[in-house]
A and B are shown apart, each in its own frame.
Chain A
């Protein structure tokens, strides 16, 4: 069976993002790359000075006078660039996520026809595959969006959205694998069995958790 190492390698590759999430490996990289941002507030009040915010020397109402400047940290264009890159990637993530939802819903609706005719199966498999590709693109852009050093813990809807990814990510991968397996089984004239038989259940789990993840973000920005 030559296929097994290939499947294992592919799975390892696809599961890598989950490992990244749990171990915060990317955070470490970002921290290293942007270590000079490390004086960013996190402990107490550290303020950089906005260029003209401090009035003329000797003014008793300057930011210095307030004792606001711990270390006189300069404005940080690197941090701004990081923030902008994060926003760009997350916006793309959002659009791809909405795009993925279309074939995903269509696959859910055509699941039944996959059971009855070869053409129905072809259509459903096509929609399912398209959903998977767009899904992976969506996931990729969220995972690659840089973390901001010192930004603190995830809070609010974002936390729920991220937590749901731990459900739909493995579920989507399994759905695809199970779908292909069911297809092969049915095309060989047998009933779907083992993993193939689980395809509808896993697919429904994936779709529901994905749509929930989308739902929590739609009421948020």
Chain B
């Protein structure tokens, strides 16, 4: 346990206009969705199995969201297995997204920018400025949405092809997250 003065927390947890003494955020619900484009059609695959945590302190906010690659569902089992293969999901079963905010969002902010690093398929890519919108907030919750401008190249993934035409390199990943302020602040470990 690392005690944090309530006044400091009150000052820095302004994202949701909070004055409560806590600085940890837990991802309560989320939907991560990738979009793959091919001249013949567009495919979306989503996962709701991500887990995540965010910590805000004097230095800003950091968050981590991670999901099993296998949990993305595009509606076709065969395509999902292909995706798993092409993204080396056997060797690297987790995709994790780390974000850093140098400045805490103000109460009135509708959006903020974060540096995001994504670890996927055994490679790490950094997107220095990803815009996130604050969709809604309450005293203890926040819904935040952003789109990661991912490309296959960053992760050295060979684009799968359909009828000899490869899919486009650009695979935007929409990150829709619903966070809740954790009662017990930093360093309280979840049960294993």
Which residues of A are in contact with B by a Cβ distance under 8 Å? 40-41, 45-53, 60-63, 65-68, 73, 75-84, 86-87, 90, 148, 151-159, 218-221
Contacts and interface: CB of A to CB of B under 8 A. Distances in A.
Contact of A67 (B84, B94, B190): B190
A102 to B, nearest CB: 15
A80 B90 contact: yes
Interface in B8-61: 38, 40-41, 49, 51-53, 55
B79 A66 contact: no
Contacts of A153: 77
Would you list the 3 A-B pairs with minimal beta carbon distance, nearest first? Answer: A80-B90, A156-B76, A79-B90
Given A66-B190, A83-B85, A221-B38, 11 more contacts: A46-B68, A66-B52, A80-B90, A83-B81, A83-B90, A152-B77, A156-B75, A156-B79, A157-B76, A158-B77, A218-B163
Contacts of A73: 93
A53 B91 CA distance: 13
B189 A65 contact: yes
Contact of B192 (A40, A67, A82, A158): A67
B78 A154 contact: yes
A77 B91 contact: yes
Interface residues of B, number: 49
Contacts of A80: 85, 88-91
Contacts of B186: 60
Contacts of B124: 52
B71 A50 contact: no
Contact of A87 (B80, B82, B119): B82
B89 A40 contact: no
Contacts of A218: 162-163
B91 A75 contact: yes
Contacts of B52: 66
Given A60-B55, A153-B77, A47 B94 contact: yes
A62 B160 CA distance: 31
B162 A48 contact: no
